[in-house]
Structure 1
Amino acid sequence: MAAHAQAAGGSGQNAAAAESNANPTDIVVTARRGDERLQDVPVSIQVVTGDKLDRLAITNFNDIAKLAPGLSFGGGDGLDGGISLRGIRWSPTGGTPAIPFYLNEVAFSPGSIQASLYDIGQVEVLRGPQGTARGRPSISGAVTLTTRRPNLFEAGGYISGQFASRERRQVQGAVSFPIIPGKLAVRLAGFYETYDTPVRSIITNEHSHNKNINGRISVRYEPSDSVNFNVMYAHNHNEARTYLQVVGAGSPGFTTSSPFGATLVLPAAYNTGGRTIKGEDFLSVMGIPNTSKGNSDLISANLNIDVAGQRLSYIFGYDKSGGPSTASPDTANMLIGYDPTVVAPRNARSKDNVVMTHELRLSSIRGDRFWDYDVGLYYYGLNLDLQNQQIASFLPGAFGAPIVAAPSPYVTNPAIPNFYALPILLDIRARERSYSAYANVMLHLPHGFELTVGGRYMSDTRPFRTVGSTLQGTLTLPNALVGGAPGCAFIGGTASALYGASFCDTIRAQAVVIDQDYKEKFHPFIYNVSLSRKFSDDLLVYGTVGSSYRTGVPNIGTATNDISLAQTRPERATSFELGLKSSFADRKAWFNLAVFQINYKGQINTFRDVNFWDVGKAAVAKTSVGFNQNADVRVRGLEAEIGFDPTRNLSLAANVSYSKISSRVNLLPCNDPANPPTATNPIARCTVPAGIGFNVNPPFQASVNGSYDVPLGPFNGYLRFLANYQGANPNFKGIVNGVAAYDRVAPYMLVDVFGGLRSPDGAWDIGVYAKNVFNKLIVVNTNPANPMAGLDGTFGPSGLSTVFSTQPRELGVQVRYSFGSR
């Protein structure tokens, strides 16, 4: 529901920026593609205005989630950028987003939009079925952002900065000016941010680090009262260095022989420097970080023409993104002095990741008529070309000369595996084309009733092909096995440069090992029916039934020729919701409630760390965050909000969200010791009974926020707080080598506080803040750390788990100056 914001920044196409002390129940939203008062819309909505973002020092979506219980970013494990709403989770590897993101009414990739949280007019978190009135289908909701538009009559702008602990430096600003007063104006906006995260490598002593540089230009053209045109271009640049946090006592120590080389002697806790690592230590044992350097270019264009009470709209979107990244599989530092990223980077580069959308819509302009309508055509096209290089296996000679009786040190020569690694190159090409036609009719019936019926017919194709081929690799064997030095020439080899004339090096020939080709068309129909009654201006009740659909997705990076593992089936869902919106005490107080149930047929879920037969390695490997399969589940939950603004200077609001995901009877991928993967049986499947919890995030979440302003002579002083509560999460337990290292995640609360001075007209503001003021350091969840890629546990247990923890206390200063139209 909505944690109402007291803030400025217009939300609708024609909404002007509101004063910061405007009544929250009068906020205007565009949830149904028209300007409507928040409390009049039969949809559960969370609103955060641009002024609220500024006042709470919010520049990333993780902090928006603090205001919107049930919404979370970073996934349950904090590792893959996942997004959850109403308990429904989507990860970047999960194909079409389950929670669409819109910027100026265009559906962009969530990653691109999350880099756009500056110079924002309003953010709306829409809950419940979407897709019959806007862009992409969704059952749990959508997130929409509108940027601040140029002012046609007056120049203005702002500049603001944040300076905080952990080397956080952030500056943003904008300037707007008319070119033809009343008809044409331009707005330029920019954002720069750099900061460290608390996670530090014990090997390099470096922290994880992020840098963002973003810019935007917006043009507004209104030649007459009946025509308006808005176009925006944005460029986003991001650089990240990431060390994954781990906990545990480290390796128990052992002596073992690699299958292709020397005996290794590994002392206890060798991979942690002899210490036990706790969650509050924020430590990593990676010698080489994961890195990424990405760019995205976004274009949105909105044209509206009004004729005879009707509006013809054309909306265009373009999103091109890509950039290289490297990832180290050695999160547990299984072999000191060697990291496979050094020798064979796993490079993921989107050479041509382009999304283009077109929408043509005819709508009635909302008025006092008996009925309103929207009809439209929509096109979504995706071109994705991805290259992913990783190690298929390590060859004889990788960890010491083969067949050596004497033990070798556990610190090896990094140059040796570099020579004796067998890389595999995955070429992935995906093409998605979605054509749809939709229609919505709203009947404004007597006695305050309103009936809305909508439908969308889609024609979807999502062909993809993955070709995996081994690259050049070198293996070594003792000459005695191949007949001495002449034997090297006999097998096309040469005397080993690293191990001497007693050994023979030979080149492994290139071969295609994977060829997945998937083509299928789908023609789904989704619907949404809502009946509401407005008993008065202060009381609305409603009921909604809606459906949704998502195409199946390819499982990127899963080296298998089994098409049932290489892709998922489509996902379908039906939602039922009842809700009310109310205000009282002369609209100084409000209470909103929604209860819902979602029935999924084939929900797309991530199944991580499941053993499967990897045809590239010809051995058992573990699935990653890119492996998805279908499961039938049911979601039940509620959302509630209560708020109170007794005076112009005091505001309080509280929000709660509860959603529980329970399985139906399913046959799902699993680790079954009695049925290990083989070439003919690439993965085990187990029967999962009904009622098993599928939540990634805590089922119960809540937030409380408030502000108090007080005049102080020529200034206004303010004090604000934001408290975010996360309930117990029984579905996450830390498992290290089969032993529970943590019980269920206990409940916890994070509190942010803000204070400062501002001018009465809001032209300038200077303040201080503390996020997580009580420094609550909680291990939110754990996942077993995978052994180094290609070794598959050869060197035994690591004694570590990757984890995601709450961020430690951040202390900062924020300053802002605005002028003119702002």
Structure 2
Amino acid sequence: MASAQNHTMRLSALAAAIALPFTVGSHHTQADQQLRLEEILVTAQKRTELAQDIPSTMNVIDGDALKDFNVTTFDDLGALSAGLRIDSQTSRSGRIVMRGIDYNPNSASEASVTTYWNEAILDSNAIFQQMFDVERVVVLRGPQGTLQGRTSPAGSINIHTARPDLYEQTGQVKATVMDNDGINTQAAASFPVIPGKLAVRVAGVYDESDLDEIENIVTGEVSHEESTAGRLSVSWLPTDSLTVDFTAQYLERENDDVYALAGTPTGDPRLDPEAVLKELGEFDRRGALVGLDSTEDNTDADFLNTSLVVNWELDAHTITWVSGYHETDSVRNYDQSMGNANAENVRRVLTIDDRTDWSQELRLSSDEGEFWEYTVGLYYENADIFYSQENYQIPISPLAPGSNVVVFPGEAERLGLFTHNQFYLNDDWTLQVGVRYQEYDADRDISTVAGDNGFAFAGPGDLLVQVLSDEQQSYEDDAVTGQITLQYQLNTDVNLYGLVATGWRPGGVTVAGKVLPEDVLLFEPEDSTSYELGFKSTLMDGAVRLNGSLYFQDYEDYIARVNAINVREPSGDIGTSGITTNGDAEVYGAELDVTALLSQNWFIGGTLSYSDGEYADGTELPCNEFDDSGAPVIPDGEAVALCDEGGEPIGSAADWTASINSEYSVPFDRFEGYGRILYTYTGDRFSPQNLDVDPYHIVNLYVGIREEQWNIEVFATNLFDEEALRGAGGTEATQLVRRLPTGYGMRFPVPGRRIGLTASYNW
């Protein structure tokens, strides 16, 4: 215990020594021996502006920073921005949490943080893939109610891939190896076809590793992942006023997951006939189930992304057209019998996720108006979705080898009209007003049919249960959202702003793996209003940037997922399922970021975030209640029990988070040596399973040498091999096989220490 306390004290002292949180920033420039940070240009408001001039909270992570910290997957981004949690606890359940707003991808609701790829909308399942040859990532915080394609309540993330160079042939190769049998190889090259007019860029990546090396004690299987991707980008300037940028990317991924368990096996011979299961600790990183063909959870997925951006500059206006197409084909095959070593109890589940998305945006923007600048636009999106979950009977079931299939086909259309206006009231005051009208139409269905083998009473494909009634198979809604911002330039170095913004998410239906009452499955649309006060400043003659904000967000019918809830099924039996539901909620917090050049050779940066979200007084949500014997209790005539959750946390987001990075370099005759550190802190989190989810500190260290064209580096992530949990998937009593407790619960530990070597060459 003393050692752990000393370790925490050392890391706390490190954070205190840095004194302020800082942000991942761009390389510095030197003019007349004066330290000055490089200015960052972004298009967050659909026009090219300095990031420091935009009156809202945003983080820009440039391509150099992504390379510096070996960001190879989307999950890695979370370490570079406090208050942004990104993780994928299974191969198809990527989660993005921002400003305390949790989101469970199994909720079947729209994400609280929308994701874009070269300005085109991209669903969260597709975004959680490999990151390679990226120019920058822009993180916008708070409701996106005006200019973004969807009106997400918590924020948006836009990934911009590298564009071709119109004038020079350039390229890079980079290889990384790690001690988890990991290898990541990337290559990119840009070729001017017609110098100054037409250029092509090709890029690719191959990645393979044993992930966090979680091993199954029954089968010996070790977690493993393999990804391959290729990208083609084309930039064309047919005239001086017309630019065309097209990008297409194809990615294949195969993932074999093994889930870490903790607990003591019950010793029931029906679950463990050969007595091979044993006690597992939270950080043993071991799984325990017989699985399917020695595979616990396998996902094969293909993704196709395309983006076309056309800009036509007129005398005083710019017309922009953004067209996106996305296709996902994913098949997941897994065993639900967690903590089971009996091949006769394997419960196979097969899920298929096929999705195509089209999005179109056309907008007109005025250029350099003296008093008024405006943007008006039209947005259209169409999504075709087919999801199915085939639930196989266990081998010893009287119904074996039958299966039932939950089928969810759906089509959703969204139409939006928007305008954003910027009024320069005088030299010091600027007013921004934006509004968006949107219509959302969805056709959907949920039914259960017999699987390929059928049953004695039903042939393959025969309807077993119609879950969603005819009147609920169509859903229509519309909403008006917007933003008002007032900005005051205190002096040439400091801007103050205040804003009010609204967010909206449509209602929907929970897609459950079993038949549940219809009224339990439906959830209502969500509305929110956010208030923010902030400042942006450039200090010490451009050597320091300091930005901060305070915010409060009020939610009406906040959409959330509650897991493992006792539900009275239509048959009268009581089973457990996750449910998406609504409840009023409030979130408030603060954010601070700083970037600083301490000398010609010393850079430091990072972010600090605090957030607190809870349900409003009197909010009732589905819950679990039990009698004295431990049997679930649900009031007569009700499908679920309800409890007053007023004052309870709305999710598992940490209260305090920090991300601090620093680099110091030493020049030599022919090369430069450097050392780089990344420190992240994750504070207390709420766990619905009443498990201890303690704060933790992670330190990554990078040491290398570089020249203008090449770089060689050794690194260690989680240098001190910190043992902590990102989350948990149930207590020891909730992992059931044939209604028998196994003694195990799921755990999601932070990745252990990894040692690696990376080398790159540029031309």
TM-score (normalizing by structure 1): 0.84
- 1:48 alignment partner in structure 2: 61
With over 3 angstroms needed to count, the CA separation of the structure-2 counterparts of 1:120 and 1:641, relative to structure 1, is same
With over 3 angstroms needed to count, the CA separation of the structure-2 counterparts of 1:224 and 1:145, relative to structure 1, is same
The SS at the match of 1:152 is: coil
Structure 2 residue 343 is the aligned partner of structure 1 residue 337: yes
With over 3 angstroms needed to count, the CA separation of the structure-2 counterparts of 1:643 and 1:185, relative to structure 1, is closer
Letter in 2 for 1:379: Y
- 1:597 alignment partner in structure 2: 552
Letter in 1 for 2:351: A
Structure 2 residue 508 is the aligned partner of structure 1 residue 556: no
- 1:125 alignment partner in structure 2: 139
With over 3 angstroms needed to count, the CA separation of the structure-2 counterparts of 1:462 and 1:271, relative to structure 1, is farther
Instruction: Point out the more displaced range, 38-47 or 766-775.
Output: 38-47
How big is the shift at 1:207?
1.0
With over 3 angstroms needed to count, the CA separation of the structure-2 counterparts of 1:678 and 1:652, relative to structure 1, is closer
Structure 2 residue 375 is the aligned partner of structure 1 residue 374: yes
In structure 1, distance between residues paired with 2:330 and 2:141: 33
- 1:578 alignment partner in structure 2: 533
The SS at the match of 1:565 is: helix
CA contact (8 A) 1:676 1:684 kept: no
Of 450, 458, 461, the match for 2:438 = 458
How big is the shift at 1:717?
0.7
How big is the shift at 1:558?
4.7
How big is the shift at 1:383?
0.5
Of 174, 179, 183, the match for 1:165 = 179
Structure 2 residue 748 is the aligned partner of structure 1 residue 804: yes
- 1:279 alignment partner in structure 2: 282
Of 597, 600, 607, the match for 1:645 = 597
- 1:403 alignment partner in structure 2: none
Correspondence 1:21-32 to 2 at 5 A: 23-24=36-37, 26-32=39-45
In structure 2, distance between residues paired with 1:788 and 1:4: 41
CA deviation vs aligned residue, 1:390-431 (integer Å, no higher than 9, x gap): 14x66xxxxxxxxxxxxxxxxxxx5x4496354211221111
CA deviation vs aligned residue, 1:557-593 (integer Å, no higher than 9, x gap): 2534633222211111111110011121112123211
Of 37, 50, 65, the match for 1:37 = 50
Correspondence 1:672-687 to 2 at 5 A: 672-673=625-626, 676=632, 681=637, 683-687=639-643
In structure 2, distance between residues paired with 1:28 and 1:536: 21
- 1:432 alignment partner in structure 2: 412
- 1:13 alignment partner in structure 2: none
Letter in 2 for 1:669: P
CA deviation vs aligned residue, 1:699-751 (integer Å, no higher than 9, x gap): 1101110001110220011110000001122x12755xxxxxx4x32221000
- 1:526 alignment partner in structure 2: 481
The SS at the match of 1:64 is: helix
CA contact (8 A) 2:701 2:719 kept: yes
In structure 2, distance between residues paired with 1:207 and 1:281: 13
CA contact (8 A) 2:735 2:742 kept: no
CA deviation vs aligned residue, 1:68-119 (integer Å, no higher than 9, x gap): 1111112689983211111112232333222111111111112323325210
- 1:483 alignment partner in structure 2: none
The SS at the match of 1:207 is: coil
Instruction: Point out the more displaced range, 293-302 or 557-566.
Output: 557-566
CA contact (8 A) 1:755 1:769 kept: yes
Instruction: Point out the more displaced range, 809-818 or 675-684.
Output: 675-684
CA deviation vs aligned residue, 1:630-652 (integer Å, no higher than 9, x gap): 12110011111233212221111
Letter in 1 for 2:323: F
Give the number of aligned pairs.
725
- 1:67 alignment partner in structure 2: 80
Of 116, 121, 133, the match for 1:102 = 116
In structure 1, distance between residues paired with 2:542 and 2:209: 42
Correspondence 1:160-239 to 2 at 5 A: 160-197=174-211, 198-239=213-254
Correspondence 1:414-813 to 2 at 5 A: 416-417=396-397, 420-471=400-451, 512-517=464-469, 518=472, 519-560=474-515, 562-615=517-570, 619-624=573-578, 627-664=579-616, 665-673=618-626, 676=632, 681=637, 683-729=639-685, 731-732=686-687, 742=691, 744-759=692-707, 761=708, 763-784=709-730, 792-793=738-739, 795=740, 797-813=741-757
Letter in 2 for 1:28: L
With over 3 angstroms needed to count, the CA separation of the structure-2 counterparts of 1:699 and 1:89, relative to structure 1, is same
How big is the shift at 1:774?
0.5
Letter in 2 for 1:550: R
CA contact (8 A) 2:623 2:643 kept: no
In structure 2, distance between residues paired with 1:658 and 1:619: 43
- 1:818 alignment partner in structure 2: 762
- 5+ residue gaps, structure 1: 9-15, 255-263, 395-413, 476-505, 736-741
With over 3 angstroms needed to count, the CA separation of the structure-2 counterparts of 1:245 and 1:23, relative to structure 1, is farther
CA contact (8 A) 2:167 2:196 kept: yes
CA contact (8 A) 1:733 1:745 kept: no
CA deviation vs aligned residue, 1:293-336 (integer Å, no higher than 9, x gap): 00111110011111111001111000011121112111121x52
In structure 1, distance between residues paired with 2:454 and 2:547: 66
- 2:4 alignment partner in structure 1: none
With over 3 angstroms needed to count, the CA separation of the structure-2 counterparts of 1:718 and 1:117, relative to structure 1, is same
The SS at the match of 2:530 is: strand
CA deviation vs aligned residue, 1:224-266 (integer Å, no higher than 9, x gap): 2210001111101111011111101121x45xxxxxxxxx666
CA deviation vs aligned residue, 1:41-92 (integer Å, no higher than 9, x gap): 1111111110111111111222211111111112689983211111112232
Of 347, 363, 369, the match for 1:361 = 363
The SS at the match of 1:524 is: strand
Letter in 2 for 1:804: F
With over 3 angstroms needed to count, the CA separation of the structure-2 counterparts of 1:212 and 1:78, relative to structure 1, is closer
The SS at the match of 1:714 is: coil
Letter in 2 for 1:725: Y
The SS at the match of 2:283 is: helix
Instruction: Point out the more displaced range, 239-248 or 554-563.
Output: 554-563
In structure 1, distance between residues paired with 2:70 and 2:722: 19
Larger Rg: 1
In structure 2, distance between residues paired with 1:25 and 1:540: 18
How big is the shift at 1:446?
1.0
How big is the shift at 1:284?
0.4
CA contact (8 A) 1:170 1:193 kept: yes
In structure 2, distance between residues paired with 1:369 and 1:36: 16
- 5+ residue gaps, structure 2: 1-20
CA contact (8 A) 2:566 2:623 kept: yes
With over 3 angstroms needed to count, the CA separation of the structure-2 counterparts of 1:272 and 1:193, relative to structure 1, is farther
CA contact (8 A) 1:610 1:669 kept: yes
In structure 2, distance between residues paired with 1:544 and 1:623: 40
How big is the shift at 1:389?
0.5
In structure 1, distance between residues paired with 2:121 and 2:274: 45
CA contact (8 A) 1:250 1:272 kept: no
The SS at the match of 2:238 is: strand
In structure 2, distance between residues paired with 1:339 and 1:164: 37
CA contact (8 A) 2:736 2:742 kept: no
In structure 2, distance between residues paired with 1:203 and 1:583: 58
The SS at the match of 1:623 is: strand
The SS at the match of 1:697 is: coil
